[in-house]
Amino acid sequence: MKKVDSGTYNMPVRYGPEMRILIVGGGISGLTLAGLLQQRGFRPTVAERAPEYGSMGYIIVLWPSGSRILKGLGLYQKLLDTGLPFSTYNVWNEKGEMLRSYSVETVTEKYGPMISIYRPELINILREAVDPETIRMNTTVEKIRQSRDEVFVTFSDGREEVYDLVVGCDGVRSKTRSMVFGHVPLTYSGMKGWSFWVKSNLHKTAHIAEYWGTGKFLGVWPTKGRLSVFTSIRCPEGMPEPIEGRVGRIEEHFKDFGGIVPDILAGLDDESQIYCDDYNDLRMDKWYKGRVVLSGDSAHAVLPTAGGGVSMAIESAAVLADELSRADSKYIAHALESYESRRRPRVIKIQDQSRMMGKVAFANSRILSYLRNYVMRFYSNKLHIKYWDSMLKDPI
């Protein structure tokens, strides 16, 4: 540690292992950031609200731009062993007639596989990169106060600590964000979705199948030994959706769908295992304030319609780790500015694509869905490859 003898910063300059970093949220971005920082010799603390890592969760798809970061963490082979690569994506209309079948093989040849994985399994893989001693489970942050040079944190267990930097990785409804930035509204997409698991023998291939209706969507996403279903509808924001009666409501919304949808609905029983949420994204003017920075969904939640949220969270964590590894406690603002300017254009691009995908898959009138289904005839595999290439080629 070196004392600064000039300028306005009158604290010892800390970097590497000396820099006091708190990561709030030990989910996808928090664990990735903690693992990468620990690999570089830092000793961040992670505060995770959950009492333990559980087994509830949905399927996610990792793009190669996100999964390649697990190579540097020594976790990539585990990801390949646990997840399921896919290369075919089929789109059907609601009657169960195929609109188009796409192969992303050219893209995966160039960038690496698209991998579907059960979220708790991805969390378990990422945890292997993080010293368990540094994760405080069942812990949240109650208060954050900052001076120009330090952040003063009060934890839910009453503990008070001082940090050089606090990183909010606590998800789309981040409390870190609201404590530091005040109320920042999420943007509601007009869509709400349910996700659940069904018997894997309902769909025997490793292909993704999506059924596009009018203002309704049902996607079937396989991963190793499991089959995940997303059902979504257009509806007003905040429409109540109690657990009780959930199965009946899903059946009602999708009763006219064909293909394997009737078999899926017939197997639906345990309402408590159906996850439901509004589809929101988030755009903020600034991702940091003083010595508190946001990463992952807390800074830039993405609609699940293009399946990019996890990859964006992992990419952002990698860029933040990269910038912090060149920073110290005095020049932290410069690192945070660089992090944000490196990430913002790419994140906005993916958010825009996800909004556009939502409009297409959820065309909300009969005429629009008819036109969409007609136009799909001309949306060739070549165009589809071009779309994926544009999503994956950017430097992060």
Ligand X SMILES: Cc1cc2nc3c(=O)[nH]c(=O)nc-3n(C[C@H](O)[C@H](O)[C@H](O)COP(=O)(O)OP(=O)(O)OC[C@H]3O[C@@H](n4cnc5c(N)ncnc54)[C@H](O)[C@@H]3O)c2cc1C
Is residue 296 a contact residue for ligand X (CB under 6 A)? yes
Contacts (CB under 6 A) with ligand X, residues 152-191 = 169-171, 175
Closest approach of ligand X to the CB of residue 135, in Å:
10
Which tokens is 124 given? Answer: 């378990």
> Nearest 5°: phi and psi at 20?
-90, 105
Closest approach of ligand X to the CB of residue 302, in Å:
6
Among 226, 274, 229, which Cα is nearest to 117's?
226
Among 126, 282, 313, 318, binds ligand X (CB under 6 A): 313
CB-CB contact of 228 with 59 (8 Å)? yes
Specify the residue, 311 or 329, whose C-beta has the smaller distance to ligand X. 311
CB-CB contact of 84 with 116 (8 Å)? yes
Closest approach of ligand X to the CB of residue 161, in Å:
14
Among 213, 215, 290, 308, binds ligand X (CB under 6 A): 308
CB-CB contact of 300 with 319 (8 Å)? no
Is residue 121 a contact residue for ligand X (CB under 6 A)? no
> Nearest 5°: phi and psi at 29?
-75, -40
Is residue 44 a contact residue for ligand X (CB under 6 A)? no
- Nearest-angstrom CA–CA distance, 150 and 165: 7
**Alpha helices (runs of H) in the chain, residue ranges in sequence order:** 28-39, 64-67, 69-72, 76-82, 105-111, 119-127, 175-181, 246-254, 261-266, 297-300, 309-324, 332-361, 366-375, 381-392
Is residue 280 a contact residue for ligand X (CB under 6 A)? no
Specify the residue, 58 or 217, whose C-beta has the smaller distance to ligand X. 58
Closest approach of ligand X to the CB of residue 336, in Å:
17
Is residue 195 a contact residue for ligand X (CB under 6 A)? yes
Is residue 25 a contact residue for ligand X (CB under 6 A)? yes
Is residue 304 a contact residue for ligand X (CB under 6 A)? yes
**Cα 21 to chain center, whole Å?**
22
Is residue 310 a contact residue for ligand X (CB under 6 A)? yes
Residues that bind ligand X (CB under 6 A): 24-30, 47-50, 58, 60-61, 140-141, 169-171, 175, 193, 195, 277, 296-298, 304, 307-311, 313
